[in-house]
Structures are given as C-alpha cells and as structure tokens.
Structure 1
Amino acid sequence: MSKIDWIPDGCRDAALFSILALCWGSSFVAIEIGLEYVPPLLFAGLRYAIAGTIVFAYAAVMNDRVRPAGRGEWAAVTVAGTFVIALYHGLLYLGELYVSGAVAATIVSTAPILTAGFAGVVLPEERLAPAGIAGFVLGLVGVIAVVQPSSAALGSDVTVGAVLVFGSAVAFALGSVLVRPIDSALPIETLQAWAMLIGAGVLLGWAFLRGESVAAIELTSATVLSFSYLTLVSGVFAFFLYFELLERTGATQVILVSYAEPVVAMGVSWVALGYLVDSLTLVGLVTILAGFVMIKRKALRSVLRSALDGASSTTP
C-alpha cells in the first residue's frame, strides 16, 4: 500500500488491523459459500494463480528483485509455497466441506501456538519455557472444546473436517518455522508472490490427481462473488494491508489478527447464513487465545508497554 493518508493518523494502525481481520475472517465464510459450486482444490488453486500473478506484478513495480537467487531463496519460496499456501489452503478447503467457516476459523487460530511449539523444537533459541508449554497444551484443549469429540462422533464428517482443518494449521505453522533458518534476502512482496504461484501449481496438480475438473464448476452469481472476493479482497488487497501493517507494527501485533478472524467469521456466518456457533466453540476460542497469551506473554507485554508509552507521549 502506498497511500493510507485517508485514515486519521491516531487510529491508523487500529483501522488497518480491523480491516485486515475483516478481510481474512470473512474469507472462511466465502470459502464455505464457494465450495457449494467449485471443487475445493481447484477453487484454491485458481484463486492463488490469479492472486499470485497480481502480487508478482506489484512486487515488480515496488522492488528491484523479482526472482529468487541461489539455493536459499529458492528453498524459501518453495517451502512457503508448499506448506503455507498449498497444504494450508488445500487441507482448509477440504475441511470446510464438512465444517462451517466459523468453526474452521476457530481451529485455524491455533496456528500461532503451533508455530511457537514447532519453533521450540526446530530452533533451539526459541525453546519453550514451562509456561509456554502450558500455553501450547491450553491451545490444544481449546481445539478439543471446539471439536467436542465423543465415541459416537468419532469418524463423523464433522470430526473428519476438524482434523483436516487442524492439519491445515499444522502445515501453516510448520512452513512458517521451516522457512526461518533459510538464508534469504528476498523482499517480502516478492517472496509472497512466488509462494502464491508455486502453491497454486501444487494445488492444481493435487486437484488433477484428486480427479477434480473445471467441468464440475457451477457458474452462478454466488460462485463469481465468492471467487472474486477471495482472490481480490481476501487475497490481493488483504496481503497489501498485511505488508503495510507488518512494516508499521511488527510481527507480534500482526499475528493477533488470527484471534480476531474467528470472531469476524462468526459474525459474518450469522449475518450471511444464519449460522450461530455453540457456547463450547466460544469457550474453545477463548482457551486458544489464553494459550497464545501464555506463550507470547513477554512479547505482548512489550507491545502493550510501547502502546501505552506512545499514548502518553501524544497526550496534551
């Protein structure tokens, strides 16, 4: 984003955060609607083929580097494309064949907790303290509250969907950790563009192996609206917001969007589909958030202190 001057300076970060949460939270419901008419992997693959092309053009204008150089940078875009784009979205779209967008968003909100857990194993300098381990366990308890497993429900479509969506969160978290030690100087826009295009290729190949066909797409107004929204708003526009917010506030604050997304998804599901989540799903979301706070307590304390210092310095 090059121009955000239309947003008052005092509330600019909060406004960007809210818009990003709205874009990404509503995407879970848009996926749920679009899956009525489009095969899941084909849906995700076509979405990111178009979004990746647009972000690539943006990266070419904004940066002087549009191509990875060396093994490290090619490894970075390949890992990000395979795990963060292809596996994450492939499993998410497949999972949403069985669970609602609101439930999927709540389960996916475990991704930051899983990221911290994997980082503690893969990266010795980020090993979790006992409180962090307790937060990780608390996050898993939150997922159990959302899924509400029982002997009768085991093997049901809802359980299958929840497992697939949780697998998508695992893929996202694992990819986010695996890409960190890789030596890469690629601008974030360029890395994201290549990841989208590589991920789209993996998704479309996966769709072919699964037997999905373009002929199975039902071209309706809902199809066009869902696909356009996911590609242009939740995809391209939201990533531009993400780049801007990341530069302005840092990764710790941006990651908090993950916990606003389920709330947005619940609201949009209620307005658009008349779907209400049950109380245990809300309990699960709060439990997952509590687990994240336990893991990231030091970083969050630092963010809060900076925000309070900034507020006091602007007080007349």
Structure 2
Amino acid sequence: MSRYRNFGLFLTLAAAWGTAFVAISAGLEYFPPVLFAAFRYDIAGLVMLAYAAVTVDDWYPRTRGEWAVAAVGASLLIAAYHVFLFMGQLNTTAAAAAILVSLSPILTTGFSRVLLPSDALSWAGIVGVVFGLFGVAIIVQPDPSNLFATDAVAKALVFCAATAFALGSVLTRRIEATLPIETMEAWSMLGGAILMHLVSLGLREPIDPAAWTDPQAIGALAYLSLIASALGFLLYFDLLERLGAVEINMVSYVAPIFTAVVGWLYLDQVVDATTVAGFGLIALGFVLVKRQAIRDEFSHVWSLAARSRE
C-alpha cells in the first residue's frame, strides 16, 4: 500500500509542478512577470511560514549560518530563478520552459563537482552534462546571424533560471546550518518575494487593475501560490524522506509531460519535434550523471520486492 501511496503522491507532485508552467503562461496575460512572481511568493511564503511555525521547533533562523542559508535560498532558489523563468516564459511555451528547467539536476551535479571537490565527476558524468547542454542547444536553436532573436533570448533566460536554481542548491549544502527544510523554504520564499518586489520597482512594471477582477488571472495566481508552491513543496518534503533525492529528482522528467498535455489542451501550445529531441538528450544526460545512484536505487527496490515475495 505504501508503494502505491508514494507513486500517487509522486504523480500528484509532477502534475502540480508541471501544470505550474501553464499557469505561469496564463497569468502572464494579465500580470507583469517579476511582480507576478513576487505576488506568488508573498502568499506561498506566508503559508509555508505558518506551516513551519506549527510543525517544527525552529521556525525562524537563529544563527549566522542559518540566516546565510535562507539568504542564498531567497536570492538564488526563489528570486533569481523566478525572475529569469517568468521573464523567459513571456516569449516561449510552457513545455519548452519545463523541459529547460529539467536540466537543473544535471547542472546541480556539475556545480557540486566544482564547488565540492570531494565529489569527482567521472567521464560518463561529464558526457552526461554535455548531452544535457546539447539538449538545451537543440531546444533553443540559436541562429548565429541573429543571436538576440526573441525566442532564443526567452529560452536563454529560462536556462539562466535553471542555472540559478542549481547553483543555489549547491551553495546551501556548503553552508553549515541545521535549519529545518520547512523553515528554510518559508524564509527563502518571503525573502525572495521582497527581492522580486524590489526588482519589479526598478523595472517600473505596470499592472492593470482589471487583473484583480479577472477569474483567470486570480485563478493562475492562486494555483501557483497554494497548489504548485505551498502544497507542492509539502509533497516534496514528504517524498524526499520516503524516496530519497535520486527518485524525487525524477519528478523533473515527468512534470514536462503534464506541462505539454495541459499546455496543448488549455493554451493550444504545440510541442515540436526539436523540443522533444532536446528533452530526450537532457533525460539521457541525467541518467549518465546519476547512473550509479540510479543503479543503487533500483537494486534497493528489487531487493525489497524480492523480500516481499518471500
């Protein structure tokens, strides 16, 4: 029963995070990108802080290291990631954005090998990183004669989002702190929201007051804040304990399927063959980078299955 529960929660998380890209595209019809992202985490951050206050003892950072972790999370995992992502999605499809973001686990491994010298990257791992980057190149399709084409710039911004998230993930591991992950997420969300409001003010983003009365605009904001962010991260915490980091990373490669299907049904966004090919290379790169961990995980699952049959 536990196995079916985990599988159901995994699919729920993949659906929540995959359809979030569709909700972003829908909401960008009404809200300016950075302010939209800031509003999302105003709400999600308060929900997560309330959850942390109820469920953990240390619901706010106390030491310098804990504040440093929250600051890295706010600046890279929340603010930089979402500024690049939301601005990129102004001019690219939800599916392409989801697939480019799925490069994050590969980039995370690459950064960890550079910043954490104890983690040596094998030749197969290096090939995996190269495959992932080739997948990005296929999706972006840069034209040497027009490198600043709107679509190419948009996809490059999404790639920057994946890079910021990967770098932030590694830097938070380097800082010595025992902050509960729920607390770290809550304060990162709130700090990231503040940073994005400042960026939005600097960009002088206008907002149409009519957005606050449009059901689609409010629905997109509510979905991103409560379902994709608050509920999504709670599911992530639960599954991380049950499945481990390797299996939970696979959600990055299931989520784009939900993005593609819902984006086609709701926004009439069609996924072209080059995007699918790029996704295949990124997924192959992930398998090469994580091959040993995946092998160990499958061996563990098969061992448990064999015991259950005895």
TM-score (norm: length of structure 2): 0.97
Pick closer, same or farther for the CA change 1:10–1:133 going to 2, 3 Å. closer
Counterpart for residue 103 of structure 1: 96
Per the TM alignment, residue 314 of structure 1 is displaced from its structure 2 partner at its CA by 2.0
In structure 1, list runs of 5 or more residues that go unmatched: 1-7
Aligned match for 1:265, one of 254, 259, 266: 259
Indicate if the aligned counterparts of 1:95 and 1:162 stay in contact, CA closer than 8 A. yes
Per the TM alignment, residue 275 of structure 1 is displaced from its structure 2 partner at its CA by 1.8
Per the TM alignment, residue 199 of structure 1 is displaced from its structure 2 partner at its CA by 0.5
Counterpart for residue 155 of structure 2: 162
Between 288-297 and 302-311, the greater mean CA deviation after superposition:
302-311
Are 1:175 and 2:168 counterparts? yes
Are 1:192 and 2:151 counterparts? no
Whole-Å separation in 1 of the counterparts to 2:180 and 2:210? 36
Q: Deviations over 1:196-254 (max 9, x none)?
A: 01111111111110101445662311101101110110011111101100111111111
Whole-Å separation in 2 of the counterparts to 1:112 and 1:10? 24
Counterpart for residue 4 of structure 1: none
Alignment of 1:40-79 (within 5 A): 40-79=33-72
Counterpart for residue 89 of structure 1: 82
Q: Percent identity?
A: 43
Per the TM alignment, residue 151 of structure 1 is displaced from its structure 2 partner at its CA by 3.3
Are 1:308 and 2:302 counterparts? yes
Are 1:280 and 2:274 counterparts? yes
Q: Deviations over 1:21-60 (max 9, x none)?
A: 0000000010001000001111000110110101111101
Counterpart for residue 123 of structure 1: 116
Q: Deviations over 1:53-107 (max 9, x none)?
A: 0111110100111111221111000001110000001100000011011100011
Counterpart for residue 37 of structure 1: 30
Counterpart for residue 226 of structure 2: 232
Three-state SS of the structure 1 residue aligned to 2:173 is: coil
Three-state SS of the structure 2 residue aligned to 1:104 is: helix
CA RMSD of aligned residues (A): 1.2
Whole-Å separation in 2 of the counterparts to 1:13 and 1:310? 15
Between 36-45 and 256-265, the greater mean CA deviation after superposition:
256-265
Counterpart for residue 3 of structure 1: none
Per the TM alignment, residue 12 of structure 1 is displaced from its structure 2 partner at its CA by 1.3
TM-score (norm: length of structure 1): 0.95
Three-state SS of the structure 1 residue aligned to 2:118 is: helix
What letter corresponds to residue 8 of structure 2 in structure 1? A
Whole-Å separation in 2 of the counterparts to 1:67 and 1:275? 42
Runs ≥4 in structure 1, deviation > 6 angstroms? Answer: none
In structure 2, list runs of 5 or more residues that go unmatched: none
